[in-house]
Chains A and B, each alone.
Chain A
Amino acid sequence: MANMCPYGHFTHAVVRGIPETFGKKAGDGQENGEVSVDLAKAQRQFGCLTGALRQKVGLQLIEIPPDPELPESWKIEDVAVIQGDTALITRPFKQQRQSEVEAVRRVMSELNLTVVEMDGEQGDSVGATLEGSDILFTGREFFVGISSHTNRRGAEVLADTFRDFAVSTVPVCDGARLKNICSMGGPNTIIFSNSDGAKKTLRMMEQLTDHHYDVLTVPEESAANCIYIKGPSKRDFLLHRPADECPDSVSAFQKLQDYTLLPTACSEASKLGASLSSLCLLVNRKHTYF
C-alpha cells in the first residue's frame, strides 16, 4: 500500500517546550501534590532530547513554544497521530487538554500533512477519546491500547482515518498507557516491558497481528519506551533511558546490532506519567509511494 514502508524513517520532529507550569495539573493550576518535579531539570532533559534529535539523529526540529496555560502541552505525542502524510488530531481525554491541539494542528498544516480532525461532539464518534500515547504504530499496523484515556470510539476514528492499516485494540493493564510498556525499537522490533501487565498486552498483540516482530524485553518498565529513528543518514538510532534511570535494561539495548544508542534522561517527565516518546511527534516528509 501506498503508505507502507518500514518503520522508522523520519525527517522532522515536532516538540513543545516545557512550560513553567510543568507538573501542575492541567486546568486547575494547582501544584501537583503527589509528585515533586524539578522544572529546571525537566527543561534540561528536554533540551538534551531535542539536541539529540537534531544533532545526533539529524532531524529537523520544530519546536512549539510552551504555553503556561497548558501545563501538559509538552506531551505532544498525545495530540496527534501521524502516519505517512496524514495527521489525525486527537481528542485527549482531559477536556482541559483539548485546546493543546490547536498549535499542533497549525504545525501539521505547515508541514503539508493532511490534517484529519476527530469530531468528538457529534456523529458516530461522540465521546471518542484518543491519545497518542496509547497508540503503537509498527509501520504495518496500529495497536490501540484501550486505557483510561483512550476508548474504543477513539480507536474507531483512528481506524477510519488510516484505512490501509489494521487497527487492533489491546487491553492495557494497571492504568498504564500502551506506550509506557512498549515502543518500537526497530523496523521490525518492539521493545516490551517485562511486567505482567505488559505480558498480557504482548500476548494479545501477538495474537492479533498478521506480522512477525522481534520482541526485545526489558526488565524495567520505564525502559520500554524508547524512540527509534532511522535518520537521514540511514543509521539506526535509539533514544533510551540512561543507565542511571534503568540500570538493568541497558544491556538489552546493547543487543541491538549496529545501533547508535543515545541515552536520554527523562526522569522528570516520567514522574508525570510521560516518557521519552511523549515529548515528540515524528514526521516523515520524504514519503515516497510504493
Chain B
Amino acid sequence: MTTEAGSETEVKEKAEESAAEPDQSEKATEDSQEVANAEVEEKEKAKVKEKEGKEGKGISRYLPTWLKKQKSQSQTSPTKEAPPTEEPVSEVTQEEEGPAPEVNGHAEEVEEKEEVKSEQVKENEAETHSNASADTEPAKEEKVEESAEKSPEETKETTEGEGAEEETKEKEGAVEAEGEAGEGQTSIFQSPLRLVRKNKMKLVVCHVTLLDGTDFTCEVEKRAKGQYLFFKVCEHLNLLEKDYFGLTYKDNHDQKCWLDPTKEIKRQIRSNNWQFAFNVKFYPPDPSLLTEDITRYLLCLQLREDVASGRLPCSFVTHALLGSYTLQAEIGDYEPDQPRPLDFISQLTFAPNQNKEMEEKILELYKSHRGMTPAQADTQFLENAKKLSMYGVDLHHAKDSEGVDIMLGVCANGLLVYKDRLRINRFAWPKILKISYKRNNFYIKIRPGETEQFESTVGFKLQNHRAAKRLWKVCVENHSFFRLNAPEAPTKARFLTLGSKFRYSGRTQAQTRMASSLIDRPAPSFERTSSKRISRSLDGAPMISITEAGRESAENGREPHLELHSDSKVTVVDVSPGDAEAMPSQHSPGSSELGPPQPNQWEKRLTSSPATIRLQQQQVSLAEEIASVLFSRHTDIGLYSTAKAACIFPEPPLDAVKTTSSAATSSSAAVCSFSAPQRPLATLSTALSATEVSVPQTEAATADNTISDTKEPAKTTEVEIEETVVVQEISRAPKPGLVTVAASTPAAPSAEQEMREQEVEVQEEAVVVEEAKPRKEESISSESESEEEAEYHPYLPVSISHTQIPEEKEEEEEQEKQEEDKMPELQVLASDASSLPAEVIQPAEETRREEAESRKEDDTETEMTANAEEEKEFERETEESTDDPMVTPDEAPNGLTLPEEGVTVMDAHAEEEEEPKMNGEPTLTEAEPLPQVICCSEPPVVKTEMVTISDTFAAQKTEIATKEVPIVHTETKTITYEAAQLDGNGDGEPGVLMTAQTITSESLCTTTTTHITKTLKGGLSETRIEKRIVITGDCDIDHDQALAQAIKEAKEQHPDMSVTRVVVHKETELAEED
C-alpha cells in the first residue's frame, strides 16, 4: 500500500507538472535539504514517469485522474503476487502500519518510505522500484483481507499493538514523524545518515501566528495536509469548537487565503513561506451559543484585532465599550489606586484612530464593569460586537457590470453588495440559485422574485481570476456552513469536465453546534494573554492547565462523560480511569498518540487507558471528529430507515447512546477491549462499524462495540463512502470490489479509491477523516487549481431522483440493518443530488451489505473475545445480545409492540454494572430509573420513550434479521396526532433520498430525511418532496417542544410544506437476558 500511495502522489504531481515540480525543488532547498534530496525526488518522479510512460504514455496526462489510477492499480496487482524483491522486512513494517491509514501523515509516511527505497535503489532501475512498491501494497491488501475475514483477534493485536502506536505517533508531529521514519528506515536497513537526511527532508517548520499574537511553531511533514497543521494548532490551543476557525496563508500576491484542510499544504502555499495565521473563518452569528469560554475568548481575540485594524468598523462609543470589556477581561477589575491608568490604556490598541478622548471613555466604561469575570466580559464584548453590521462580513473588492468599484461581502446570511460604506444590494442565500465564476467574473444566479418570471444572473468583475475563485470559494463555504445541515457532497467529476469541484468539507454550523453540545469537559482554564503577547513562550508548553478538580471529575467516568461517549466522544471512554485500572492488560500502549509535547489533561487521561488512546489520532480533537462521524452515521441511519419503509427507528440513537453511556459507566474496560479488536475490523470495513453504530436496536453490549468501532471507523468510513460512489458511477451492478474497498481503506490509495475521490471529491466528512483527504487531494487538487471556472448550486434540484432506487433500497433494508452503513454515502449523494444520480446509492448498499455482514460477525466475535478476557459474564451477555435478532426495531416502527415478557429492568442492570466500575462511583444515571442509564456490560435492557413522526412507509418496513442484534422486548405506545393521506402513494414509489441528517444530543435524536419522489403521469412529471423528521429521545424529551422545533425548522426550509402526520411513539423496552 505504502508504495502505491507514493506512486499515486507522484502521478498526481506529474499531472500538475510544471507547477508541482518547481515547488518541490524549491521546498527541498528550503528545507535545508541537500540538493541531493531534490535530485532523489526528481529521480523518483522520473521513474514514475517512466512507469506511466509504459502504461499510458503521454495520453495518460489527458485522461481523468481516476483512469490513471486505475491503470496504476492494474499494474500493481500483477506485481503484488510476485515475491518481494527487495526487503521483506519493509513489508512487515508496512503491514503493521497498514491498519493505521487513519493517521494524517500516513500517506505521507508511505511516501517517505518510498523515497527511502528510492534512495536505496537509486542506482537500480525504475522498474525495480515500481515492483518493490507493488510488493508492499499487496502485502497490505492481504492483511486487510485477512482481518476482514474474521480474524478479529489477530488483527486486533497486530493492529493495535504496533499499528496503533505508529498511528499515534504519526499524528504527533515532527517528533513522532521522525520516530516513525526512524522505524521504517531501520526496518529497511538504511544507513543512518540517509535516514537522518530523509527525516529532515520530510519535515517542514510551520509558523502559525495565533490570535493572541504569539507564534506557534511546529514541524509537519512536507506532504501534510492543511488539516494536520490545523489540528496541531487547535490541539495547542486546547480548542474543541474548531470548526469556526481556519488557517490562512498569504499567496504569492500577498492575498490572504484559507488553507484547504483537505489538500496538502505544500500545494497550496506555492512558496516556501510556511507562515500561517490562525483566524476565525466563520463568525458565529450568536456567540452565546458557543459552548466553551475558550472558543469565545478566541473569537474575542479575533474581533479585537478586527476592530483595532478597522476591518470591523464601529462607532466611537462602540470602540470605547468594546475596549472597556477587553480591559475587564484581560486585566480584571479596575484598580482605583493604579497610578496612571490612561498611560497603560494608551499602550493598547483598541481602534484605528484611537485618541485620548476614546481612552478616557474606555476607562470610564471600564470602571463600570467592576466585578465582571473575564468570561462575562468576553460575552458582553461579543454581544455587542455581533450586532455590528459588518460583523462576520468578508469583503472583496469588485466592480459591478458598469465598472463601478464596489465591495462584495460574504457573510452568514448571504452576499452583500457595498458601494463605499453603503449597502446597495443584498442577496440572501435562499435567493441565490447558483454561484459561479469564470475567469475574473463572478456570477450569481438569482431566484426569480414573486413578480418575476425568470431567474436573473448578476455578474461582478474581480481583479483577476484568483480573486474570483477566492470569492467563489468563500461563498461556497459560507453557504455550506451556515445554510446547510450537512456539507454538500462534491460534484461528481465528469469526464473531461473542467471546473473546480471545491466544496466545503468541514462541518456545518448545525453540525458543529451539535458536536459542541456534546462537549463535556471541565472548562479549560486558559490565560488571557493579549496583554502578554510578547512574553509568551513558544516552547509549546500546554497553554491550558487543567485543574485537578476538573480532571477528577473527568476521570470518574460520570454520566456526562458517558453520554459524550455515546455521542461519539471516544475520549470520554478512554478517559475513564476505571478502564485503565481494571483492565490494564488489555490496553495496548497506544498512548504514543498523546505524543504531543505538552500533554494536557485529555492526553494524560488517554494515556491512562492506552487502548482507547490510539484510536484518537488527533487527540482531543478526535473526540469531536468522532462525534461528527457518529452524527453522519446517524444521518445515514435515518436515511436508510426512511428509504426502507420510511419507518423511523426511534430506538437506534437512544440505544447507541445508552449503550455507550452504560459502557462507559459500568465497565470502561469492556469498552476498551471492544475497541481494540474492532479497530482492525473497522479499518478494513468501515461499513460494519458504521452499521453497528447506526443500528438503533443493538443492545448495550453491541452498542459498546459499535462505539469503539465508531471511533476508528470515522476515517475509514469516509473512504468507504467514496468507494461506493465510485462503484456506482462506474457500474451500477454491485461490484465484487468489496475486497478492493477494504484494501483501499487502509492508507494505501488504490486506483479505485482515487477514482472515487476524484469523482466524489466533496465529502464533507472527508475533512474529519484524514485518510480520505489525502486521496482526494491527489485527485482533486491538481484539477481545482487549474480550473478557471466553477459553479456551485446552493440548491439541489429535486427532479434528479430516480424511481428505481427506492425499490432496491427497500429490499436491501429488509435484509439487514448493516446496510445502514450506506447511509453516509446516501447522504453525500443526496447532497450532490444535482450532480449525482440517485441510482448510485443502491449498488453501494449491496456491496456494503455484504461486507457489513461478514464484518459484523467478525466484530461480534471480537467483542466476545475481548469480553471473555475481561469479564466472562459480560461476554456472555454480549454474545446473547448480539446474537439475538433485533425484534424491536422493526416492530416498533410498525406500531407493533411486543408484549412485555420477562424483562429485566434497567435499574437492576445498572446496579450490577456499578460494581464493575473501578471507580466505584455510581453514575447518576444508574441511580435514576431512566432508560438512558443502562450500564454497558450488562445485558441490554432498555426502557425507552420515543417520539416518532412515522413515515408513510412504516408499513413497508421489513424485519431486519441481524444475528448480532439483541432481542429487545418493547412496550410501545403510539399516539398519532394527525394523519394525512399524502402518504398513500408512499408505498412503492420510487424516490430519491435527497438529504438525511441526524442530530443527536444527549437525550434527543432528530433524524430528518428528505425523500424525493418523481412520478410520471401522462407525460407530466410530478415531483414530490417528503421530509420525514424523526425525533427520538428518552423520557426527558419534551415532545411538543421538540416537534414544534422540528416543524419550525422544516417550515423555514420549505415554507410550502404541510405536515402530514405526526406520530408520537412511546416505547418502553424491556430487555431480558435469556
Listed in ascending order, the chain A residues whose CB lies under 8 Å from chain B are 1-4, 84-86, 114, 140-141, 144, 152, 155-156, 159-169, 203, 207-210, 289-290
B314 is an interface residue with CB less than 8 A from chain A: yes
**Distance (whole angstroms) from the CB of A138 to the closest CB of chain B:** 12
Top 4 nearest A-B pairs by Cβ distance? A166-B389, A159-B421, A1-B387, A2-B321
Asked whether A1 lies within 8 Å of B314 as measured between CB atoms, the reply is: yes
Q: Which of B316, B383, B385, B428 has the most CB of A within 10 A?
A: B316
Q: A164-B315, A164-B388, A166-B389 are in contact. Are A155 and B413 (CB under 8 A)?
A: no
Q: Which of A3, A85, A169 has the most CB of B within 10 A?
A: A3
Asked whether A3 lies within 8 Å of B426 as measured between CB atoms, the reply is: no
Q: Which of B313, B318, B322, B380 has the most CB of A within 10 A?
A: B318
- A141 nearest in chain B by CB position: B389
Asked whether A166 lies within 8 Å of B315 as measured between CB atoms, the reply is: no
- B384 nearest in chain A by CB position: A1
B411-450 CB mask vs A (1 if < 8 Å, else 0) is 0010000011111111010010000000000000000010
With a cutoff of 8 Å between Cβ atoms, the chain A residues found around residue B425 in the complex are 207-208
Q: Which of B317, B322, B428 has the most CB of A within 10 A?
A: B317
**Distance (whole angstroms) from the CB of A146 to the closest CB of chain B:** 10
**Distance (whole angstroms) from the CB of A82 to the closest CB of chain B:** 13
Q: Complex formed: what's the CA distance from A209 to B423 in Å?
A: 9
B362-376 CB mask vs A (1 if < 8 Å, else 0) is 000100000000000
Q: A86-B315, A290-B384 are in contact. Are A156 and B421 (CB under 8 A)?
A: yes
User: Known pairs A86-B316, A290-B321. 6 more at Cβ < 8 A?
Assistant: A1-B384, A2-B315, A160-B421, A163-B318, A166-B423, A169-B423
Asked whether B314 lies within 8 Å of A164 as measured between CB atoms, the reply is: yes
With a cutoff of 8 Å between Cβ atoms, the chain A residues found around residue B423 in the complex are 166-169, 208
Q: A208-B426, A289-B365, A290-B380 are in contact. Are A3 and B315 (CB under 8 A)?
A: yes
Number of chain B interface residues as a range: 20 to 34
Question: 8 A–B contact pairs at CB < 8 A?
Answer: A1-B318, A159-B420, A164-B315, A166-B423, A207-B428, A210-B426, A289-B365, A290-B380
Asked whether B317 lies within 8 Å of A3 as measured between CB atoms, the reply is: yes
With a cutoff of 8 Å between Cβ atoms, the chain A residues found around residue B385 in the complex are 1
With a cutoff of 8 Å between Cβ atoms, the chain B residues found around residue A210 in the complex are 389, 413, 426
With a cutoff of 8 Å between Cβ atoms, the chain A residues found around residue B413 in the complex are 210
Q: A144-B422, A159-B422 are in contact. Are A2 and B318 (CB under 8 A)?
A: yes
Q: Complex formed: what's the CA distance from A152 to B365 in Å?
A: 35
Q: Complex formed: what's the CA distance from A84 to B315 in Å?
A: 11
Q: Complex formed: what's the CA distance from A141 to B390 in Å?
A: 12
Listed in ascending order, the chain B residues whose CB lies under 8 Å from chain A are 313-318, 320-322, 365, 380, 383-385, 387-389, 413, 419-426, 428, 431, 449
Q: Complex formed: what's the CA distance from A164 to B313 in Å?
A: 7
With a cutoff of 8 Å between Cβ atoms, the chain A residues found around residue B424 in the complex are 168-169
Asked whether B317 lies within 8 Å of A86 as measured between CB atoms, the reply is: yes
Q: When the two chains form the complex, which single residue of B318, B380, B428, B449 contacts A3, counting CB atoms closer than 8 Å?
A: B318
With a cutoff of 8 Å between Cβ atoms, the chain B residues found around residue A152 in the complex are 419, 422
With a cutoff of 8 Å between Cβ atoms, the chain A residues found around residue B419 in the complex are 152
With a cutoff of 8 Å between Cβ atoms, the chain B residues found around residue A159 in the complex are 420-422
**Distance (whole angstroms) from the CB of B1026 to the closest CB of chain A:** 28
**Distance (whole angstroms) from the CB of A289 to the closest CB of chain B:** 5
Asked whether A163 lies within 8 Å of B422 as measured between CB atoms, the reply is: no
Q: Complex formed: what's the CA distance from A167 to B426 in Å?
A: 12
- A165 nearest in chain B by CB position: B389
**Distance (whole angstroms) from the CB of A201 to the closest CB of chain B:** 14
- B389 nearest in chain A by CB position: A166
With a cutoff of 8 Å between Cβ atoms, the chain A residues found around residue B421 in the complex are 156, 159-160, 163, 167
Asked whether B318 lies within 8 Å of A167 as measured between CB atoms, the reply is: no
Q: Complex formed: what's the CA distance from A144 to B419 in Å?
A: 14
**Distance (whole angstroms) from the CB of B719 to the closest CB of chain A:** 40
Asked whether A156 lies within 8 Å of B316 as measured between CB atoms, the reply is: no
With a cutoff of 8 Å between Cβ atoms, the chain B residues found around residue A85 in the complex are 317
Asked whether B422 lies within 8 Å of A2 as measured between CB atoms, the reply is: no
Q: A1-B314, A84-B317 are in contact. Are A164 and B422 (CB under 8 A)?
A: no
Asked whether A163 lies within 8 Å of B315 as measured between CB atoms, the reply is: yes
**Distance (whole angstroms) from the CB of B106 to the closest CB of chain A:** 44
Asked whether A207 lies within 8 Å of B426 as measured between CB atoms, the reply is: yes
With a cutoff of 8 Å between Cβ atoms, the chain B residues found around residue A4 in the complex are 384, 387
Q: Complex formed: what's the CA distance from A144 to B315 in Å?
A: 19
- A5 nearest in chain B by CB position: B387
Q: A86-B315, A166-B389, A289-B321 are in contact. Are A156 and B422 (CB under 8 A)?
A: yes
Q: When the two chains form the complex, which single residue of A140, A162, A290 contacts B315, counting CB atoms closer than 8 Å?
A: A162
Q: Complex formed: what's the CA distance from A156 to B418 in Å?
A: 11
With a cutoff of 8 Å between Cβ atoms, the chain A residues found around residue B388 in the complex are 1, 164
**Distance (whole angstroms) from the CB of A285 to the closest CB of chain B:** 14
Asked whether B317 lies within 8 Å of A168 as measured between CB atoms, the reply is: no
With a cutoff of 8 Å between Cβ atoms, the chain A residues found around residue B316 in the complex are 86, 114
With a cutoff of 8 Å between Cβ atoms, the chain A residues found around residue B420 in the complex are 156, 159
**Distance (whole angstroms) from the CB of A131 to the closest CB of chain B:** 16
Q: A144-B422, A208-B423 are in contact. Are A164 and B318 (CB under 8 A)?
A: yes
Q: Complex formed: what's the CA distance from A168 to B426 in Å?
A: 10
With a cutoff of 8 Å between Cβ atoms, the chain B residues found around residue A289 in the complex are 317, 321, 365
With a cutoff of 8 Å between Cβ atoms, the chain B residues found around residue A207 in the complex are 425-426, 428, 431
**Distance (whole angstroms) from the CB of B330 to the closest CB of chain A:** 19
Asked whether A2 lies within 8 Å of B426 as measured between CB atoms, the reply is: no
Q: Complex formed: what's the CA distance from A160 to B315 in Å?
A: 9
With a cutoff of 8 Å between Cβ atoms, the chain A residues found around residue B380 in the complex are 290
**Distance (whole angstroms) from the CB of B625 to the closest CB of chain A:** 33
Q: A164-B389, A210-B413, A289-B321 are in contact. Are A169 and B422 (CB under 8 A)?
A: yes
Q: Which of B316, B413, B422 has the most CB of A within 10 A?
A: B422
**Distance (whole angstroms) from the CB of B408 to the closest CB of chain A:** 15
Q: A144-B422, A164-B388 are in contact. Are A290 and B383 (CB under 8 A)?
A: yes
Q: Which of B383, B423, B426 has the most CB of A within 10 A?
A: B423
Q: Complex formed: what's the CA distance from A163 to B449 in Å?
A: 31
With a cutoff of 8 Å between Cβ atoms, the chain B residues found around residue A86 in the complex are 315-317
- B357 nearest in chain A by CB position: A114
With a cutoff of 8 Å between Cβ atoms, the chain B residues found around residue A156 in the complex are 420-422
Q: Complex formed: what's the CA distance from A162 to B421 in Å?
A: 10
Asked whether B384 lies within 8 Å of A2 as measured between CB atoms, the reply is: yes
With a cutoff of 8 Å between Cβ atoms, the chain A residues found around residue B314 in the complex are 1, 163-164
**Distance (whole angstroms) from the CB of A141 to the closest CB of chain B:** 7
With a cutoff of 8 Å between Cβ atoms, the chain B residues found around residue A140 in the complex are 387
Q: Complex formed: what's the CA distance from A21 to B334 in Å?
A: 57
With a cutoff of 8 Å between Cβ atoms, the chain B residues found around residue A203 in the complex are 449
Asked whether B383 lies within 8 Å of A164 as measured between CB atoms, the reply is: no
